[in-house]
Amino acid sequence: MLAPEPHRAESISRALGISPVLAQLLVNRGLDEPDAASLFLRAPLASLHDPSLLPGVDEAARRIHAAIAAGKRICIYGDYDVDGITGTTILWRCLQLAGVADAHRHIPHRLEEGYGLSCEALQSLQRQGYQVIVTVDCGITSVAEAEEARRLGLELIITDHHEPREELPAADVLVHPRLPGSRYPFPNLCGAGVAFKLAWALSREFSQAKKVGERFQRFLLECMALVALGTVADVVPLLDENRVFVRHGLKSLAEGPSIGLKALLEVAELSDGKSLNAGHIGFNLAPRLNAAGRLGQGIMAVELLGCLNEQRARDLARYLNEQNEVRQKIERSILHAARTRVEAELDLDQTPALVLDDPDWHPGVIGIVAGRLVERYARPVLLIAGQGEICQGSGRSVPGFPLHRALAACSEHLVSHGGHAAAAGFKVRRDEVDKLRERFYAEAERLTNGRSIQPRLLIDAEVPLSALTHGLLKWIDALEPHGVGNRRPVFMTGGLQIVGEPRKVGKGELHLSFMVKQADGPRMKAIAFGMADRLPELLAAGGKCCLAYTPKRNEWQGYVDIDLEVADLQPGPTAQLV
């Protein structure tokens, strides 16, 4: 439980004219000065940083502008995840607006080509007559591929946000917020954010002015929705200009979506006037776009986002929706198999990390499953799939355990690897998997100093259920968008009594739904995602329990209720906090 700081909260409340509850939530997030808190709440477009501050961006814009003037053929080469797909669409649309009708979009086939630049793909593009390659969300570790591009006579412009290594690729231009010597004010852009900055710089080139022309200004504002999708999906901190992108991108998505995004909203059942938040991107929209890339059809997601034909957009959106349902089924199967193995074969008290492999697992889905296992077991996870000599791997981590550095320490057993602190991908030879497991365990032991990594849930305040009003939720809305760096508010209420029988709900009955009340107060609905296996624990004290939760609106057929989205639970009338 975070300790209240009433004096600071009161000062911010008075200065900004806001609710004391909202002021305390701001203080809990380190925003304890009125000016910083005000900027956070307003998130104005004017607080976006000048693109010229981004290393390499002006040179990249000049080169692309010159290539267009010279009639050179350009290929935008993106990653197959939502970040890469949205960033690719931003640059492709920018070139279309500039009159480049034949700009090509290349998204690698996840299973056949793998992540990032490949020499084979560069050779193929060169044979097809492309002369300029602009990467999106990939390339910063592609040293050999950059050499191949140079040998082929290709002009290579790399835009990326992943962790650079000591040796940088010898591309014609590198655009990256964390290059050595960079003074860019905010290092945590996603790939789509970097692509947006390049599109902004290109718009200046095409407008021949620092203030872009009206057409390009409209284009950039429309692209906010795409940047928001990439930013939320890539789980980068929702602070600084990322917060600006997502705040304004959600507004653009709700009020004026493109034809492709409108079709996507419809299949996700989000087109009926509902207000949109970052959770809708993370749980409803991004998985449908990601499903295409995970199952080897990433180019179809790119086509949807750039589609100008309503019927074609609806057809593509329905297809992506079907692919997402296939992905969910595969995910549940792999998750069940992985959890069964963990609990049957491993002593978790003696296992600082999890490294599991199975040749029958789908390489495109193991990253999601790794994330689910991290949530359950609170330790770094590597999953490995593939039946050939070279296997594909995906990892997810916990706060405080830099996964990309741990994999770098295991590089002698890896064919390749890349990523960042929270998520990474790699390739490993089948005969090196056991050695990788031993080395990764040793590195996990070293980085954690032999201590288990316990998940921590920060609770903002203890409140009675009677305090959960629509007025309170309106103040909490001011903190949106929520995500990394700006967690959702979590409250705790003790002395609750379960009313009626809890139900297991959802596909696979993975979730719990139940009613609670406090003393003689009204009943409220609680939903505990992924906690169906904790039902015996919930009922262990005769239905008395304490809940940590985020209050959420539940809109249904014109009625709006407040539900409790459970973050954790304890049996008994009084919570045990540490």
Q: Quickly state the pLDDT bin for 436 (edges 50, 70, 90).
A: very high
d(CA 60, CA 171): 11
- Does residue 324 fall inside a structural domain? no
The reply to whether 435 and 464 lie within a common domain is no
The reply to whether 397 and 517 lie within a common domain is no
The reply to whether 422 and 514 lie within a common domain is no
- What is the token pair recorded at 536? 């015996």
Taking CA atoms, 540 is separated from 299, 531, 535, 537, in Å, by 50, 15, 9, 5
What is the three-state SS of 202-267?
Answer: HHHHHHCCCCCCHHHHHHHHHHHHHHHHHHHHCCCCCCHHHHHHHHHHHHHHHHCCCHHHHHHHHH
Q: Quickly state the pLDDT bin for 273 (edges 50, 70, 90).
A: low
- Does residue 328 fall inside a structural domain? no
Q: Tell me: the pLDDT tens digits for 297-334?
A: 889 999 999 999 999 999 999 999 999 999 999 999 99
Residues 532, 504: contact at Cβ < 8 Å?
yes
C-alpha of 230 from chain center: 7
- Does residue 306 fall inside a structural domain? yes
Q: Quickly state the pLDDT bin for 350 (edges 50, 70, 90).
A: confident
Q: How many domains does the chain have?
A: 4
- Does residue 21 fall inside a structural domain? yes
The reply to whether 209 and 300 lie within a common domain is yes
The reply to whether 443 and 464 lie within a common domain is no
Query: What does the pLDDT read at residue 295?
Result: 77
Q: Which of 422, 447, 472 is the last residue of a domain?
A: 447
- Does residue 160 fall inside a structural domain? yes
Query: What does the pLDDT read at residue 3?
Result: 72
The reply to whether 191 and 120 lie within a common domain is yes
The reply to whether 218 and 307 lie within a common domain is yes
The answer to whether residue 119 scores a pLDDT higher than 70 is yes
Q: Is 6 left (phi over 0), alpha (psi -120 to 50) or beta?
A: alpha
Q: Quickly state the pLDDT bin for 399 (edges 50, 70, 90).
A: confident
Average pLDDT, the chain: 93
The answer to whether residue 225 scores a pLDDT higher than 70 is yes
Query: What does the pLDDT read at residue 453?
Result: 65
Query: What does the pLDDT read at residue 493?
Result: 96
Find the mean pLDDT for residues 520-534: 92
- Does residue 453 fall inside a structural domain? no
Q: Quickly state the pLDDT bin for 272 (edges 50, 70, 90).
A: confident
- Does residue 227 fall inside a structural domain? yes
The reply to whether 199 and 170 lie within a common domain is yes
The reply to whether 299 and 384 lie within a common domain is no
Q: Is 278 left (phi over 0), alpha (psi -120 to 50) or beta?
A: alpha
CATH at 492: 2.40.50.460
Range of the domain at 409: 346-447
CATH at 120: 3.90.1640.30
The reply to whether 96 and 221 lie within a common domain is yes
Q: Which of 417, 447, 477 is the last residue of a domain?
A: 447
The answer to whether residue 454 scores a pLDDT higher than 70 is no
The reply to whether 297 and 269 lie within a common domain is yes
The answer to whether residue 274 scores a pLDDT higher than 80 is no
Query: b/e string for 540-550 if b means 16 or more Cβ within 10 A?
Result: eeebbbbbbbb
Q: Quickly state the pLDDT bin for 157 (edges 50, 70, 90).
A: very high
Query: What does the pLDDT read at residue 388?
Result: 87
CATH at 375: 3.10.310.30
- The answer to whether the peptide bond before residue 6 is cis (omega within 30 degrees of 0) is no
- Does residue 43 fall inside a structural domain? no
The reply to whether 202 and 87 lie within a common domain is yes
Find the mean pLDDT for residues 97-120: 87
Find the mean pLDDT for residues 559-570: 94
Q: Which of 426, 447, 468 is the last residue of a domain?
A: 447
Query: What does the pLDDT read at residue 113?
Result: 75
Residues 316, 303: contact at Cβ < 8 Å?
yes
